[in-house]
Amino acid sequence: MTVLVFWGLILAFCISFALLKWNDLKYRRKRLPRGTMGWPLFGETVDFLKYGPDFMKKQSAKYGSVFKSHILGCPTVISTDQELNRYILMNEGKGLVPGYPQSMLDVMGKTNIAAVHGSAHKFIRGSLLSLVGTAAIKDQLFPDIDKFIRILTNNWDGKTIDIQEKAIEMAFYVAFRQIIETECDLIYKAFKEEFDKVATAALSLPINIPGTNYYQGLQARKNIHKILRQIMEERRASRKTHNDMFAELIGNEKSRYRLTEEQMFDQIFTILYSGYETVSINTTMMAIKYLHDHPKALQELREEHLAIRERKKPDEPIDWNDYKSMSFTRAAFAVKVWPHSKMTCMCSRFLIPKGWRIYVFTRELNYDPVLYPEPYTFNPWRWLDKSLESHSYCFLFGAGGRLCPGKELGMVKVATFLHYFVTKYRWEEVEEVEILKFPRVEIPNGLHERVSKY
């Protein structure tokens, strides 16, 4: 029996070694960066999703700042090189087209702003900015954002609040209500359940087998399309007037941006997903966490907001001018693009084959002590120096033609939440928390704060 186990282990080792070696040989090309390709089909996806930045550091220490891998179903070149990353982000069209992992493209839509390039990207970006750009925020969106956040943050005194849960609620519900206002309360729960599956599938292996996150995400996308199509048909059949984003999209025959049904639905996915990922978890939750841990920063931010309230009547909402005056607040939360090669192209000393993904990993730039002294210190004051946002390697919100179109809307939501939270309450953490920072920021058990009146 012992001998059989021994030879079984030897056989398993040999098969594993052969599979790993075969996958490396399969993707071997002249002048490709060094690296490993992992297992057939799965590649190194598990290590990439589980260890994230540590995986990057380990591989770059071994193979250099540019290395090859196989993640999320695609052969990929990962770059942590400052100069190469800047070149890629600032030179769309020179042999490279921006894209995202296949799973994300499939569940978010192939006319999604992240999936298109050239004139199509310019068109979709223009349409998106007409919905969520500065003009739309000032004229239409801000009052609704303020109203909902005031309601959300009401009556928290003496309660224990999960900030992560409330941040997700704020980001998703506000965005959803601004897209579909009239039918919102009737379909919100069912829609949210389906969209959660889409968000999970966006960063998964593209294996279309029942039970996988990817399969569930594709099915959820179809279900969401049915919901949106039904609303669209009912609205077109009625004579009622609606004042939301969906109405603007449906009535785009008179607009300069005439979208197909698929493009309309993909715009909705874009707006919901971007708010869901960045505004809810990354920014709002972490702002509350870091402000709690740094009383001096909290005090300065609170004084900024109390000064705004002194200019207002007790229940008077804040507006665009108030938001623009929040200089320290904006500094406090100043805190991934996946191009792929459309032809075999040369970057520096490497040749990258057509169809390969290039993961521009810019996270480590934020920890470069040359660019940011004491990079691991929470220091919002550094961002009061506007030159930091304009230097050559600042990719906080993307770069070039891929600068985030929803940047301002996201910042408005976070700033408004902070305004009402810090002027009404003080808070303390109920327990120590573990923060997962990759592939998305989250606290598995929530960020529970004991809230009391300020």
| Residues annotated in a binding site for heme | 404
Q: CB-hemisphere CA count at 13 Å for 114?
A: 25
Structure tokens at 418: 């902070």
Structure tokens at 185: 């309360």
Could you give the CA distance from residue 434 to residue 164 in angstroms, rounded to a whole number?
A: 13
DSSP 69: E
DSSP string, 169-223: HHHHHHHHHHHS-TTHHHHHHHHHHHHHHHHHHTTS----STTSHHHHHHHHHHH
Q: What is the largest CA-CA distance in the chain?
A: 83
How does strand 74-79 pair with strand 66-71?
antiparallel
Could you give the CA distance from residue 8 to residue 276 in angstroms, rounded to a whole number?
A: 47
Annotated binding site: 404
Roughly what angle, to the nearest 10 degrees, separates helices 295-310 and 286-293? 110
Q: Which of 203, 238, 92, 244 lies closest to 438 in space, CA to CA? A: 203
3-state DSSP assignment of residue 394:
coil
Q: Which of 334, 317, 327, 282 lies closest to 423 in space, CA to CA? A: 317
Torsion of CA 378, 380, 381, 387, to 10 degrees: 110
Structure tokens at 328: 């320290």
3-state DSSP assignment of residue 57:
helix
Q: Report how far apart the first and last C-alpha atoms of the chain are (Å, whole number).
A: 70
Structure tokens at 65: 């700042």
Could you give the CA distance from residue 417 to residue 149 in angstroms, rounded to a whole number?
A: 6
How does strand 350-352 pair with strand 66-71?
unpaired
Residues in the chain: 454
Could you give the CA distance from residue 24 to residue 376 in angstroms, rounded to a whole number?
A: 36
- Residues with Cβ within 8 Å of 11's Cβ and at least 6 positions away in sequence, in order, are none
Q: Which of 202, 176, 175 lies closest to 189 in space, CA to CA? A: 176
